[in-house]
Structure 1
Amino acid sequence: MSFVFEPAPVASVAVAGSEDRLPVRRIFCVGRNYAAHAREMGKDPDREPPFFFTKPADAVVDHGATLAYPPLTEDLHYEAELVVVIGRAGRDIPEAQALDHVWGYAAGNDLTRRDLQAEAKQMGRPRDFAKGFDRSAVIGPVHPVAAVGHLSEGSIRLTVNGSRKQDGDLKEMIWSVPEVVAFLSRSVEIRPGDLIMTGTPAGVGALVPGDVCTVSIDGLPGLTVTIGARG
């Protein structure tokens, strides 16, 4: 088969302890999955059904990268998140079987152009440009379930230049990992290489050029990204 244009490289993330990389198919993100964060965003944290938005696969960025401050924003925010990596396809998955479809876990940072998000919300428009811009999904090395087990509780923290900004626990998620996987599979067939960013605890805030931002989750190594000058 020939193509009109050269196909883009396969987006991928690192795998802990391996030279192999994990191909990324899609990135799903759960909105407002921690009650305290829902409140700080002005929303009722009652347990309504989870909602999802997406980022393009090629938005992924590895641990240790330096990112140019993105265009069209004056309010770039960090969001520490647990990332679930799907390794087995499925549709309409029962909650009791959902973890069988999880290959591993990683730390993530859902970078957000908050001013564009607020504008989209006010005008009733999609949030794609606020959430799905270039290099907006910082993903650490993926640790297989065989190495770390399934993560359902433990500290999730974020620091900026060594100062703690977010400090929560995975057990505070409104919707657990099995519930999120099962619910998502009712809408789409999940497949190997799909990533799910499971939401962020309270304490989101702005980043500026020169900031060093680190996400730490119990059971996983730290994930660091540096914000560079405007591109």
Structure 2
Amino acid sequence: MEIAHLQPLSLLDYPGKVSAVVWTVGCNLRCPFCYNAELVLPGLAHGLPRLPLEEVVAALTERARFLDGLVVTGGEPALHRDLPLLLREVKELGLRVKLDTNGTRPAVLRSLLGDGLVDYVALDVKAPFARYPEFTGLLPLPHVASEPVPDVVTLVRESVALVRERAPDYEFRTTVAPGLAPDDLFSIAHGIRGARRYVLQPFFVPDGKRLVDEEWRGRPALSSDTLRALLPELQKSVPTELRG
């Protein structure tokens, strides 16, 4: 499993829990506004150090009594075949698992939930589905040669339904990237009407980070104040909060 970084302590990444966080390398989308370009773009990811799985598990074992759980984020963690191995090790330590995912691997998600390896799913809904090509850079996904190329929106829809039905706890979330308008957020909220939780994250670029597409740097995005003003209307469809 390709893990680039382990953060030993976080009070922010797992709602209500003290967690560690691991970042996996590689993603099958190219969201232009993503500021984890070093995890997404192969040319940048090639130079990143990799943490052996055994080293990660040993570090978690040392800290297990101080932690409630582990957050696995990326990149896209569901791309890694040995993700279940890490999660089983984590569960054996008595820790909860939060998985951050773009929802393009519903079969993996179904297996993890069926095996009781995930306690909380944070599924990114990048944009209204009609605008997904614009906000995800939609790459062809690996597929069996005799079968049609899977449609990303279809896969994400399947994951949304799966999470709603089977995840012990979950949130859908949208980073409000440049170009997303209030009507786009209303459309997303309507599409997940009745879900447990919807989280809006204002767009920003941390110091020293680069975007997958640097042309998006500096583009205007909805402010935190604007998003806060939208909450009452969004909450008519789904419980919504502003985070960050």
Q: Classify the TM-score, shorter chain.
A: under 0.3
- Of Structure 1 and Structure 2, the greater helix share is in 2
Select the structure with the greater relative contact order (CA < 8 A; seq sep ≥ 6): 1
- The TM-score with structure 2 as length reference comes to 0.23
- The TM-score with structure 1 as length reference comes to 0.24
